[in-house]
Structure 1
């Protein structure tokens, strides 16, 4: 008979977790994770190995 109460408590906790929307302090999270406030621009270090589509189209038109 104890299983019914245990299951009901677990169901109640699961519903609270599913439907609650806690306020998240994003700035505190950034500080904790060590994320810099201004992110540098992404630089693709392999971009020089891949041809751009624009360059191949230009080459095809001039040929």
Structure 2
């Protein structure tokens, strides 16, 4: 079962955008592998609060 995790800043995506991302990622996975995996493909969108990301030692 494929599990794809997408991490975004909190409140960056609407519910509709999240649904579209989930749908399109699932489509790409099944196109690259097998349609049989569609029902077993998990996509998780995780929102991260400001200050809980970091790049180059600096919180974003």
TM-score (norm 2): 0.33
Q: Which has the higher contact order (CA 8 A, sep 6+)?
A: 2
Max Rg structure: 1
Higher strand residue share: 2
